[in-house]
């Protein structure tokens, strides 16, 4: 079987809730996206170097957040959460490494996402935990929350 190694980067983007009277213990909402092909709920991420061969993980992550999530963000932590997973497609085994950076929302509207996503939105921590589709994203989110 043919084996292909892939590297992707993306962001776990938070937006501070601006209601000072909120009783929410964690005053953030989080950007998640629904993929237009496999319909899974994911964090925005994509291939490193598919636009620019010398692209860094950080640059790719920021680009993917803007493309797939419709928003501009800044990287808060230069140390990404690294996840690994594999999948088989048409006789090829894909081994994927993903670097997810914690990011803070700066501007933009998730409704301006690209064609790869059918939907993008900010949701509460509880909603993220409920609707993320893949274990690797759930693990990354848990690690981010531990670090807050």
The full set of domains in the chain, from first to last, is 2-147 (3.90.79.10)
Mean predicted lDDT score pLDDT of the chain: 92
Residue pLDDT, tens place only, 8-48: 999 999 999 876 666 656 689 999 999 988 889 999 999 99
pLDDT of residue 139: 94
User: pLDDT, tens digit, for every residue of 88-105?
Assistant: 989 999 999 999 999 999
Residue with tokens 């999948």: 87
3-state helix, strand, coil in the chain (%, to 5): 25, 45, 30
Single pTM value for the model: 0.90
Indicate whether 75 pLDDT > 90: yes
């Amino acid at each position: 079987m043919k084996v292909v190694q892939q590297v992707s980067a993306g962001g776990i983007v938070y937006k501070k809730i601006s209601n000072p009277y909120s009783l929410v213990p964690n005053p953030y909402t989080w950007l998640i996206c629904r993929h237009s092909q496999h319909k899974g709920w994911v964090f925005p991420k994509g291939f490193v170097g598919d636009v620019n061969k010398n692209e860094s993980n950080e640059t790719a992550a920021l680009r993917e957040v803007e493309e797939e999530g419709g928003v501009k963000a800044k990287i808060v932590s230069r140390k990404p959460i690294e996840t690994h997973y594999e999948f088989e497609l048409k006789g090829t085994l894909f081994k994927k490494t993903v670097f997810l950076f914690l990011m803070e929302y700066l501007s933009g509207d998730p409704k301006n996402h690209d064609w790869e996503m059918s939907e993008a939105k900010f949701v509460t921590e509880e909603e993220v935990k409920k609707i993320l589709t893949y274990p690797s994203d759930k693990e990354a989110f848990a690690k981010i929350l531990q670090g807050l």
